């Protein structure tokens, strides 16, 4: 009495509805989401993808150990943004990266002055698409209240019909 049960039984019908909902969501939105996260937010190479995967796994493990409910999908998308924003920061602050960019643009890498940055060249180097960032943040902010409102509506209808 008053204790916490070690195991919880989940009815089969709830598992089936949850599985069907996840499958339908993946079927309808999966390919677009994979393309968006994997290629359109920022460019990922194997090293960056490894950083995203390992940081996602570590964050989920630590959160589970502490007892925090987290979404591995949200963490993975956040890690992709983190890799992209780090690339932007590194591009702006690394002499080696700056020289590489100048060589690729056909300019002289030895400019003579320490960190002589062409401000327009540096400012336009956004490696994370801001439109995707804003749309994902907006979707995250809408998801929780919308799902709570939908759950309240469904519960009210079920309660009115069957109780």
pLDDT band of 2, cuts 50, 70, 90: low
| Amino acid 33: pLDDT | 79
Evaluate if residue 57 carries a pLDDT over 90.
Answer: yes
| Amino acid 156: pLDDT | 96
* CA distance linking residue 101 with residue 11, whole number of Å: 58
Evaluate if residue 26 carries a pLDDT over 70.
Answer: yes
| Amino acid 103: pLDDT | 80
In 3D space, the residue among 36, 155, 121, 13 whose CA is nearest the CA of residue 84 turns out to be 36
Average pLDDT score over residue span 27-53:
85
Average pLDDT score over residue span 111-130:
60
* CA distance linking residue 87 with residue 126, whole number of Å: 9
Q: Is the pTM of this model over 0.85?
A: no
């Amino acid at each position: 009495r008053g204790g916490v049960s070690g195991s919880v039984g989940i009815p089969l019908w709830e598992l089936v509805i949850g599985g069907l909902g996840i499958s339908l969501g993946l079927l309808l939105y999966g390919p677009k989401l994979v393309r968006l996260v994997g290629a359109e937010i920022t460019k990922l190479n194997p090293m960056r993808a490894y950083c995203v995967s390992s940081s996602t796994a570590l964050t989920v493990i630590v959160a589970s150990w502490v007892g925090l409910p987290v979404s591995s999908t949200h963490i993975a998308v956040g890690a992709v943004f983190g890799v992209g924003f780090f690339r932007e920061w590194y591009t702006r602050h690394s002499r080696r990266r700056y020289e590489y960019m100048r060589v690729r643009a056909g300019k002289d890498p030895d400019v003579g002055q320490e960190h002589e940055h062409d401000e327009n060249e540096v400012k336009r180097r956004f490696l994370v698409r801001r439109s995707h960032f804003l749309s994902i943040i907006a979707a995250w902010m809408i998801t929780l209240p919308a799902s709570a409102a939908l759950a309240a509506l469904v519960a009210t209808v079920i309660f009115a019909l069957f109780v």
